[in-house]
Amino acid sequence: MKLKFEPVTEKNRAQALRLHGAPGQEGLVEPVEQCLAEAEQWKGWRPVLILDGERPVGFAMYGKFPLESFPFGRVWLDRLLIAGEHQGRGYGKAALAGLIQRLREEYRCKKIYLSIVEGNWAAAELYQKFGFRFTGKRDPHGEQIMVYLCPRK
């Protein structure tokens, strides 16, 4: 499965806003509307649609916080959402693989961070299968932080 990542613009914003998790997943990932508002406030965030062909199947947002871990900063995969109707079809795995590659190429980073709401065990399991590990630390919102150590090329 080959997914594409397209920056969210005014042209495709409505498509992004229609994406939601499955019923019962509220609170596990911030709504797309909130993500886009945060991206407008801090231009370092990069919100992207996840596309299978031309069909939106998910949303992600990532960026680099330059002031963290001075002098290099931290790269964060901050949001990953597969729309409820597309879950269980391998999109999460394919999206995560593509996003890791994208972040490594774009930022030339050695580590990728993310945070996860306690109780989101399906996501935690997926991240762990890809090599993310819990750091034992929490972000300012109380979410557990995970880190991926990028293999050397």
DSSP state of 26: B
d(CA 61, CA 105): 16
What are 6's strand-pairing partners? 49
**What is the C-alpha end-to-end distance of the chain, expressed in Å?**
24
Task: Classify strands 55-65 and 46-52 as parallel, antiparallel or unpaired.
Answer: antiparallel
**Torsion 97-114-105-9 (CA) sign:** positive
Give CA–CA dist 22/123, Å, rounded.
Answer: 13
Residue 12 near residue 49, CB atoms below 8 Å = yes
* Positions marked catalytic: 127
